[in-house]
A and B are shown apart, each in its own frame.
Chain A
Amino acid sequence: MSDWMSGGQQISGLSKVEGPIVVVEGTGVVAYDEVVEIIDQNGRIRPGRVLEVGENLAVVEVFSGTAGLSIDGTRIRFLGRSFQIPVAQEMLGRIFNGIGEPIDGGPQPLADRHADINGQPINPTARVYPRDYIQTGISAIDLMNTLVMGQKLPIFSGSGLPQDQLAAQIVRQARIGKAVGEKGRSDDQFAIVFAAMGVKNDVAAFFRKSLTESGALTRVAMFLNLADDPAVERLVTPRVALTLAEYLAFDCGQHVLVVMMDMTNYCEALRQISNIRGEVPSRKGYPGYMYSDLASLYERTGRIKTSTGSITQLPILTMPNDDITHPVPDLTGYITEGQIVLSRSLTQQDVYPPIAVLPSLSRLMKDGIGRGKTRDDHSRVSMQLYAAYARVQDIRSLASVIGEEELSTVDQRYLAFGRAFETEFIQQDAGENRDLETTLSLAWQLLSLLPRTELTRVTEADINRYYQEKR
Chain B
Amino acid sequence: MNPVVGRVIWINGPVLRARGSRLVTMGEMVELGEQHLVGEVIGLAGDVMTIQVYEETAGMKPGEPVFGTGSPLSVELGPGLLGGIFDGIQRPLPVMEMQKGSFIGRGIRLTPLYHATRWQFTPLAQIGRTVSGGTVLGTVPETQQLVHVVMIPPGVTGKLVWLADYGEYGITDPVARVQTDEGEVTIPMLQRWPVRRPRPVRSRLEKIEPLLTGQRVLDTFFPLVKGGAAAIPGGFGAGKTITQHQIAKWSDAQVVIYIGCGERGNEMTQVLQEFPELVDPRSQRPLMERTVLVANTSNMPVAAREASVYTGVTIAEYYRDMGYHVALMADSTSRWAEAMREISGSLEEMPAEEGYPAYLSSRLAGFYERAGLVENLNGTTGSVSLIGAVSPQGGDFSEPVTQQTKRYVRCFWALDKSLASARHFPSVNWLNSYSEYIDNISNWWQIETGMDWRALRAKAMEILNEESHLDQIVKLVGPDALPDEQRVTLETSRLLREGFLQQNALDDIDTYATPRKQLKMLSLILHFHERAMGVVRRGAVISSIQALAVVNTLIRMKAVISNDQLDKLDEIGIQLDQQMDELEALYR
Contacts and interface: CB of A to CB of B under 8 A. Distances in A.
B345 A121 contact: no
Interface stretch (A295-303, A346-354, A423-431, A434-442): A295-303
Contact of B272 (A124, A338, A358): A124
Given A121-B104, A304-B102, A299 B59 contact: no
Interface string A1-29: 10011000000000000000000000001
Contact of A302 (B13, B265, B480): B265
B394 A330 contact: yes
Interface stretch (B283-291, B322-330, B334-342, B516-524): B334-342
A121 B424 CA distance: 34
Contacts of B478: 398, 401-402, 406-408
Contacts of A207: none
A52 interface: yes
Contact of A398 (B236, B272, B474): B474
A34 interface: yes
Contacts of A363: 237
A361 B236 CA distance: 10
Which of A299, A326, A364 is the most central at the interface, judged by chain B CB atoms within 10 Å of its CB? Answer: A299
Given A121-B103, A335-B298, A299 B265 contact: yes
A30 B103 CA distance: 26
A397 B475 contact: yes
Interface stretch (A135-143, A158-166, A274-282, A414-422): A274-282
Contact of B61 (A53, A126, A291, A334): A53
Interface in A273-314: 279-283, 287-289, 291-292, 295-296, 299-300, 302, 304-306
A337 B62 contact: no
Given A279-B345, A292-B342, A53 B62 contact: yes
Contacts of B57: 32-33
Interface string B401-428: 0000000000000000000011110000
Contacts of A281: 355
Nearest to B395: A325
Interface in A315-356: 325-327, 330-331, 333-335, 337-339
Contacts of A296: 299
Contacts of A453: 551-552
A406 B266 CA distance: 49
A239 B86 CA distance: 27
A334 B355 contact: no
Contact of A330 (B12, B348, B393): B393
Interface stretch (A96-104, A195-203, A379-387): A379-387
A122 interface: yes
B59 to A, nearest CB: 4
Q: Which of A53, A54, A335 has the most CB of B within 10 A?
A: A53
Interface string A42-68: 000000000111111000000000000
A282 B102 contact: no
Contacts of A31: 58-61
A390 interface: yes
Interface string A391-403: 1000001100110
A209 interface: no
Contacts of A326: 394
B234 to A, nearest CB: 11
A127 B265 CA distance: 8
Contact of B479 (A34, A334, A408): A408
Interface in B453-477: 474-477
A379 to B, nearest CB: 7
A126 B97 contact: yes
Interface string A209-222: 00000000000000
A130 B267 CA distance: 10
A295 B11 contact: no
Give the size category of A's interface with B: 35 or more
A125 interface: yes
A123 B393 contact: no
A207 to B, nearest CB: 27
Contacts of A1: 58-59, 106
A456 B272 contact: no
Contacts of A289: 13, 302, 342, 345
Contacts of A133: none
A331 B85 CA distance: 27
A289 B13 CA distance: 11
B11 A53 contact: yes
A281 B354 CA distance: 7
Interface string B71-95: 0000000000000010000000110
Nearest to A278: B348
Contacts of A283: 354, 393-394
Contacts of A391: 422
A279 B341 CA distance: 11
Contacts of A367: 270
A291 B332 CA distance: 13
Contacts of B348: 280
Contact of A129 (B270, B302, B555): B270
Contacts of A121: 103-104, 265, 297, 299-300
Contacts of A338: 237
A17 B303 CA distance: 31
Nearest to A150: B266
**Which interface residue of A280, A305, A364 has the most chain B CB atoms within 10 A?**
A280
Contact of B93 (A123, A299, A300, A302): A123
Q: Is the interface of A mostly helix, strand, loop or mixed?
A: mixed
Most buried by A among B268, B422, B475: B422
B96 interface: yes
Given A1-B58, A121-B297, A387 B423 contact: yes
Contacts of B272: 124-125
Given A292-B298, A305-B102, A32 B266 contact: no
A118 interface: yes
B265 A288 contact: no
B279 interface: no
B475 A398 contact: yes
B335 A291 contact: yes
A52 B11 CA distance: 6
Nearest to B559: A459
Contacts of B130: none
B323 to A, nearest CB: 31
B569 interface: no
Contacts of B93: 123-125
A292 B306 CA distance: 13
A126 B102 contact: yes
A358 B299 contact: no
Given A55-B10, A120-B103, A282 B341 contact: yes
Contacts of B297: 121, 124, 295, 299
B62 A390 contact: no
B58 A123 contact: no
Nearest to B546: A453
B295 interface: yes
A51 B62 CA distance: 13
Contacts of B94: 125
Contacts of B276: none
Contacts of B9: 54-55
A306 B103 CA distance: 11
Interface hub of B59, B474, B551 (most chain A Cβ within 10 A): B59
Contacts of A331: 393
B422 A295 contact: no
A390 B11 CA distance: 52
B555 A325 contact: no
B64 to A, nearest CB: 9
Given A55-B62, A299-B297, A302-B266, 7 more contacts: A1-B59, A123-B96, A280-B344, A291-B335, A292-B302, A299-B264, A325-B396
11 contacts: A5-B59, A30-B62, A82-B58, A123-B102, A124-B269, A125-B96, A280-B345, A288-B355, A291-B262, A295-B297, A299-B297
For the complex of A and B, the 6 pairs showing the least CB-CB separation, nearest first, are A295-B298, A325-B394, A390-B422, A33-B58, A4-B59, A333-B236
